Structure 1
Amino acid sequence: MQINEPYYRRDLAYVFDQGYGFHAEACAPGILALLEPVRAGGGVVLEIGCGSGLLTKRLVEAGHRVIATDASPAMLDLTRAAVPGAEDIRTLVLPDDPLPAVDAVVGIGHALNYLPDKAAVHRALVAIAGALLPGGLLAVDLCDLEWGAARQGAMAQGRVGDDWAIVTRFSQPAPDRFDRDLTTFVRGADGSYRREDEHHGNVLIDTSAVPALLSGHGVTATIGGSFDDEDHPLPVGLHSVIGHRARKMG
């Protein structure tokens, strides 16, 4: 990941917090249902790519002990303000930062696809598997190669809020890459708008290979189109990865 110029700097973090909460709202019911045994047992949930805390808030409100993590300092600032009840809120840059041992790892917003290549994504998945305690749960979303194929030639998009606007342009430099150029306009205290640009590059992977990868590290996983049996389907090409580490016997 980019450390000197991280993704989701102040203005883009604000825009996504204000205008893109629908993904967290769609994913939360399924993830909360999957996590119910963890909540009942008092376990700890590690959230990767927590963003501005939209899912974090739902987890804490449901009674979970949550360690919320992200690579964006601006996003973490928003999470700290929005979810003071989280057990911990910290910087985490996969695949190399150490992960605490936890009862569940969750993440939405395809955070792992922001890593530089497929090898890094696989390393991150292995690290996540290794962090799960016996009986632990994994629930994350990942962009498949299908994500790019379904969006070839996608037109630029724009959205406007009360004090912000965003224009997003798309490109696909390779079958396993999907890039976005995002321009934000956010109104400052003096009433004028400031512009900021970010380039986001995502690596796309063949998610069908993920179960075999995780199986080699003690986690049985399935790939799907939602976190709750299609009641809240994910966008085309965004797949759920739901896995479990076996409980120790005897």
Structure 2
Amino acid sequence: MMEGRGFENRGDLKISGSGSVGGGSYNNVKISGAGKVTGSIDCRQLTISGAGRIQGEVKAEDISISGSGKIEGATYCQEVSISGAGNFLGDLQCKSISTSGSCKIDGGLKGEEVSISGSIAIAKKIEADIIKLSGIITAFGLEGERFYGDGIFKIEELLNADKIDIAIRGRCEAKEIGGEEITIKTGRNNIGGFLQSLFSFGYDEGSLRAEVIEGDVLYLENTTAKMVRGDKVIIGPGCTIENLEYKTSLEVSEKSRVKNQVRLGE
């Protein structure tokens, strides 16, 4: 992702008050005041603990935002850590991102591991190997190898991963959910009242709503869906399913309702 190093031959850039400097190649870039960089930067580490604004593209090894940071171009880096407020106006491509604050991405997010304990809003799609959620996600789409959801999410289109393990702790929504192994269980709601109020989509607490859920092995609780398709399917308590298609086996809790069910191959 990053090109040649040579950071030891570069100077550092520090803005501790209110200032504006041009872009360029640096070793460490630190903004602890109200600083603005009027151009793209290429650096080893970008640290924003004040109010920092980069009017261009960023290439970095590490990015740390504990204040308020805005990057107006595309961002390419190894690691991103956000405990404040990060605003990316372009695409964000990284190896790993961890956010316990708030993050807004006007483009897409691509990485290997995404860990969210705060809130993140992505205009396009999240693509990552592993996605761990203990906060709030809103995104157009989500695609990965493993998705561990232990919070609140709204996915406009497809949530797709080989293994999906969801503990519903609020009001969750995805248009379609697809994977090999899908587990959706009800979790204890521990999302703070203020954050949850921002993402109340009009459904009961501790519930998931989707148009289509499709996978090989399915276990569902407190789920409302128009269509469920699977090989081995268990419908736990609290579900309302309009149409269900299965191949090998089906179990339905007496505390759930399936309007129409069909065993494929008969």
Q: TM-score, normalised by structure 1?
A: 0.24
If asked which structure has higher relative contact order (CA below 8 Å, sep 6+), I would say 1
- Structure with bigger helix share is 1
- Structure with bigger strand share is 2
Larger Rg, first or second structure (1 or 2): 2
Q: TM-score, normalised by structure 2?
A: 0.23
